[in-house]
Amino acid sequence: MASQLTPATETEAAEIIRDHAERAAPLEIRGGGTRAGFGNAVQAAATLSSSGLSGILTYNPAEMVMTARAGTSVAEIEAALDANGQAMAFEPPDHRPIMGTTGEPTIGGLFAVNASGPRRITAGAARDSLLGVRFVNGHGEIVKAGGRVMKNVTGLDLVKLMAGSHGTLGLLTEVTFKVLPRPKTAATIVLSGLDDEAATHAMAAAMALPVEVSGAAHLPESVKSRFLSGGLPEGPATVLRVEGLEASVAVRVEKLAAAMQRFASTTRLGPEETAVLWREIRDVKPYADGTMRPLWRVSVAPSQGEKLVAALRLATGVDAFYDWQGGLVWMRMEADPEAEILRRYIRALGGGHATLVRASGAVRASVAAFEPQEPALALLSQRVKAKFDPVGILNPGRMTTGEPA
């Protein structure tokens, strides 16, 4: 059993890391551990968690900015925002259902994996909301980057580098992020009966309208019954969300429904069902199935998602549904991970990347969880990693790229 280190202060965290750097002793970096199993396995005798660094430090709703220690639970953050009618625009997903984990998701963990839900297509990813960070690098130095204002181009944007670096560049100790007013209401248009290709066209047409669609997903027949307790109309469901002030949502839904008539028959969901449906899409409900069957998160150009799935279906057993207008494909494989064929097809369709989110221990040991990079980029990533963590003690091996050469 690896030892658990849970520092209570940033200074203590820095001392621990400095000590481990001096001894070249690897550390597994984690927040609440709700994404344990994400990325490649890390061999480390000790685990360093940010969960002891907790608490909201500043929050001024009129400035739309919050600063919190990295180990603060997402639930605490969301409750504070909710009390002021605000929310994180990128709709952070809860990965516990698909990962089969327990524990509390932390705000630091969320930014460390750049976890972003359905609204990513218009509101940006977690990284787009992240304004500033404090972290401890692999030397044990406390570094701050960015700030707490919306517009800041002072020096290099290390904030973006930290987002999605999976604890391989530093232990996040504090994050400052932008929040937005929570939409006053929301509605969903459901287009019924479209196949994946037709749905892709319909979603592209919807996104091109001036009605500010804030979510566009396609739920093929194989997964549809897993949403809204089977309450969606018959046939595959292509779902489009509109959010905002009452009056404006009413007007925009009318316009959207009228424009979508040419693709399929439409029905509407009110605010409550809309909230449930998009939370289920966000949390990948169909594949929260208690299994370790390989689950992929694929990011491609929105128009290419269905082509990728169609090609794969000819070669292997795959079940899939689409978020981000088709650009985020959640794929569950029947048996084997099929990494090689999946990645080959992605390249053939113009690029993107596939992340193995969940798999059995045996599969994880043999398949690179993250998309392998071409040599020049891999080298650059390795150099960047070495500038934060020259000894290579922070989550070594978690990302296939970015390890010291």
For 276, list phi and psi in degrees, rounded to 5.
Answer: -65, -50
Classify burial at 93, counting beta carbons within 10 Å of its beta carbon; exposed 0-12, middle 13-18, buried 19 or more. Answer: buried
Nearest distance from residue 382's CB to other proteins, in Å?
A: 9
End-to-end CA distance of the chain: 29
373 contacts other proteins (rule: CB under 8 A): yes
Q: Six-digit token pair at 196? A: 């994946």
Q: Restricting to residues 380-399, which ones interact with other proteins according to CB under 8 A?
A: 380-381, 383-388, 399
Interface mask toward other proteins for 209-228; x: CB under 8 A: xx-x----------------
Interface mask toward other proteins for 26-65; x: CB under 8 A: ----------------------------------xxxxxx
d(CA 318, CA 208): 30
Judge whether 176 and 147 are in contact, CB under 8 Å. yes
Query: Hunting for tokens 């599969």 — which residue is that?
Result: 363
132 DSSP β-pair partners: 146, 176
Nearest distance from residue 232's CB to other proteins, in Å?
A: 25
Nearest to other proteins of 53, 242 (CB atom): 242
Q: Restricting to residues 98-117, which ones interact with other proteins according to CB under 8 A?
A: 114, 116
Among 23, 255, 313, 347, binds other proteins (CB under 8 A): 255
Q: Which stretch binds other proteins (CB under 8 A): 94-102, 140-148, 217-225, 233-241?
A: 140-148
188 contacts other proteins (rule: CB under 8 A): no
Among 42, 53, 110, 158, binds other proteins (CB under 8 A): 158
Smallest CA-to-CA distance from 48 within 211, 193, 174, 171 is with: 171
Q: Which stretch binds other proteins (CB under 8 A): 2-10, 224-232, 276-284, 379-387?
A: 379-387
Q: Restricting to residues 268-327, which ones interact with other proteins according to CB under 8 A?
A: 299-304, 324, 327
Nearest distance from residue 211's CB to other proteins, in Å?
A: 8
Q: Which stretch binds other proteins (CB under 8 A): 21-29, 48-56, 73-81, 154-162?
A: 154-162
> How many C-beta atoms surround the C-beta of residue 10 within 10 A?
19
181 contacts other proteins (rule: CB under 8 A): yes
CA 279 to chain centroid: 13
374 contacts other proteins (rule: CB under 8 A): yes
Element (H, E) at 237: strand 237-244
Q: What's the alpha-carbon Rg for the chain, to the nearest Å?
A: 21
Judge whether 206 and 121 are in contact, CB under 8 Å. no
